[in-house]
Amino acid sequence: MKDTDDLLRRVSVKANATIEHLPPPATAEEVAQAERILGFRLPPVLVRLYREVANGGFGPDYQFLPLLGEGRTAVSDYQEEREGPESSGDTHWPADVLPILDWGCGMYAAVDCRSPEGTVLLFEPNGITGNWHRAWHVDAESLADWLEIWLSGRGWYEEDADEDSEMRAWEPARQRLAEGR
């Protein structure tokens, strides 16, 4: 718990130093409402991030989506991705994987909410038609690790990132997508 406390303190310091007007943190009621709408629980670190830092608006590049609220949110993007019809009829977004950040060009950072540590995934659909399992990659084994990478400026999205590094495939993708809707 102490490590998470320190991590969230450092995330908050960086968020407040880089964003002029952070939104207020999500309330306990908003988190509970989001979990009811989604039909699954959020990993503890993700809950604390939204409850203690801000309801989105900070983080790498395009910044965290708000959990709930006006306009585009993590909950609304999840619903849209899960319900969106694909021309092939194949499901491209697995259940219980919450988009937290839109990288643009159809790419998302998402958290596998079935994993207690909140494995962070990269959804990179560009150039993929069908076989959606190939669009899913592990960005970090946990949300805490992913946040540490952001804090240290070592993310793949950084200007001076090692372009030769390749993410590994998210092995559960094929099975999770087969679960369907």
128 confidence band (pLDDT: 50, 70, 90): confident
C-alpha to C-alpha distance for 128 and 70, rounded to whole angstroms: 32
Residue 126, C-beta contacts closer than 8 angstroms, at least 6 positions apart: 105, 106, 107
C-alpha to C-alpha distance for 67 and 15, rounded to whole angstroms: 16
Beta strands 97-104; 136-140: pairing state: unpaired
Q: What is the pLDDT of residue 160?
A: 72
Q: Is the pLDDT of residue 90 over 80?
A: no
Domain count, the chain: 1
102 part of a folded domain? yes
161 part of a folded domain? no
160 part of a folded domain? no
52 part of a folded domain? yes
Q: What CATH number is associated with residue 22?
A: 3.40.1580.10
138 part of a folded domain? yes
15 part of a folded domain? yes
Provide the domain limits for residue 172. Answer: 2-155+166-178
Whole-prediction pTM value?
Answer: 0.92
